[in-house]
Structure 1
Amino acid sequence: MIAPRKSRNSIVARNEFAYQAHPHIVIAPDGTWLVVFNNTVRGEHTLHPPHDPRYRNMLTRSFDRGATWEPAEVVPGYEWSGVECAGLTVLSSGEIMLNQWQFEWIPLGRALSAQNQNTYDLPEAFASEMTDSGELETGPKIAGRARKFAPWARGKGRTVVHFSEDCGASWGQTRQIETAPYSGGYGLRGAVELKNGRLIMPLNDIPDYQRIFVVISDDRGRSWGKPIFAAWSADHLFTEPDLIETDNGRLLLVFRDDRTGHLFSAISEDGGLSWSAAVQTPIAGYPPHLIKTSDGRVLCTYGHRKPDYSIRGVFSDDGGRSWDVENAVCIRGGLPNKDLGYPGTIITGPGDFFTVYYCQDERGITGIEATSWSPV
């Protein structure tokens, strides 16, 4: 583990009455920096998007390279609540594409009176899911009284993309993506546009959170083909993938495994139509964000949810076949607990990076922070 040659921390968004987490960052064609993140009310116990219908995706913009940030706005509109983490894609057309998964939510009383209660997941299931994941301490704390803290029920949902023609200032067209036979499609890192203009977006099934697949568009996201299987194993729970095209045209897919706590990867040599078997990487942490550096390396940033609680980055010199974990960069260390992570990184200059992530401050308020840094 090494420290950056230089680093500076800053706040992107924080609200003492809100829980803000799970950011993603891109640079718009006009140079504006865009950060999308999750926002819900701050309560006695923390709930993440699969268990809270009050979540909305919010977008903040910076016109001065991260020095200041505009007040965050709900995207694409207030009718889009009960959502998972969102992803952004900058298209060669100059448009910005926002991808979302929106759960179907109904009041608990309505779910209990429904003729087919099996259609909905009830609060007891939420407590069990949170306990099994171990990501938060909430599950054991609300077990036996989950209906007091989560008086709602969760149904299925839909995968959608929205488009902005003014660098994220407003949002227009919406298109739904069919994900059958999978239960749904959730992705937090956007799509990759290949050299031929094709879009490939990695997703995981939801609410199962165990299978990885991709969808392909040949018309800038207005329509999407049938899902293509990428990764699954009975011994693992694969979720939250990211995708990058390496210099030789190979596609590298990296995703978290909730059984081992490690990142796994798969490779496609045919433009995403088929994928190699998933292999475990030496990276302990999640979820991944991938970028290609100016010197051809791949940088993976991720959250490390064990002491030292931290945001880390690791480089690969061979397109993701191996990772230099012995020289992993501690981008931001000394964080107070494991309620952290989901970093996203942009390149700001030769050898310079800007990484956004979420974490708690000294008051226990969870918000979006960032670190400008350069490796040694």
Structure 2
Amino acid sequence: MHTLALTPQENAEFAPMLTELAAAYDTIENPELIRRAPVLARQLPARLLTFLEEYRLGEPSAVCLLSGLDVDEKTIGPTPEHWRDSQYGSRAFPLEIFFLLCGSRLGDVFGWATQQDGRIMHDVLPIKGHENYEIGSNSLQHLSWHTEDAFHPCRGDYVALMCLKNPDDVETVICDAGDLDWSALDTEALYEAEFTQMPDNSHRPENTSVSTGDPVIDRLRQRSFALIQSWNDDPEKRPVLFGDRQDPYMALDPYHMKTEGWPDRSAKAFDGLCEQIETHMRGVALRPGDLVFVDNFRAVHGRKSFRARYDGTDRWLKRLNITRNLRGSRAWRPAPDNRVIY
């Protein structure tokens, strides 16, 4: 794991900038703030910028953990009951800005029209009624390990989490592809386009608002939901591994993969990979002020179950999707500077 702990002096160094930006903007979703983030991030401590650049270019590990960000639980207030309640008037706004700036050093942040109403920064928190649903807002069942948005050709290079609360030390589970013994697996079979990957539940229309009030946006979003439904009805065959055969990248989400009709060799190779991943899975209990960046090409991640209280004290994270190739999704976005994939 690639790690760095912020010092009190470094927190004091960037705190005035965060306060100033939080006073200048209304929400972390402000397009101007998001557009300026890569430039503003240059004002972060040089040691932090070097650390993030080493992770981005050198790939020393699939997991990058930044700790030591000052988080005052009284200041940020109670965990919201739902992600819809968290956008405006956020008491965690300065922390959200710090998270945005760090993420922008690894690539371009983006959102999905089909997730959390197209927001760039997501809330990860338990929602009453989702306890046993395979989605990040569940609690009583494990969130199965997966590549983030494995089904989509525009999935991010990184999925990033910032912990605001985790009083029960709920573990995020991660497996680094660098820990796997590729020589023991039938990798050639895993490079073949024989595997069907379904869209995950977080992109389903029942998990977002019915309408945004903007007819153009609503029309684009309905097109996205229709495409996702078509991938559910008739999933494309694709490989599980890609990139360098000596150091492969991965894209898989077993919970949402339809295994019927796979060739025997493909199914056996897939089972072997999943068994190794299970063996090498490690747990990380994020603490308030921890930021973790997971290489979405080189790791899978999930979360252990817990019992939510719904009293304002539950586990609360912020999440960002980050791409190193924003242009690769241009056909899916309505304008070059639009960050939402439709």
Q: TM-score range by the shorter chain?
A: under 0.3
TM-score (norm 2): 0.25
* Greater fraction of residues in helix: 2
TM-score (norm 1): 0.23
* Greater fraction of residues in strand: 1
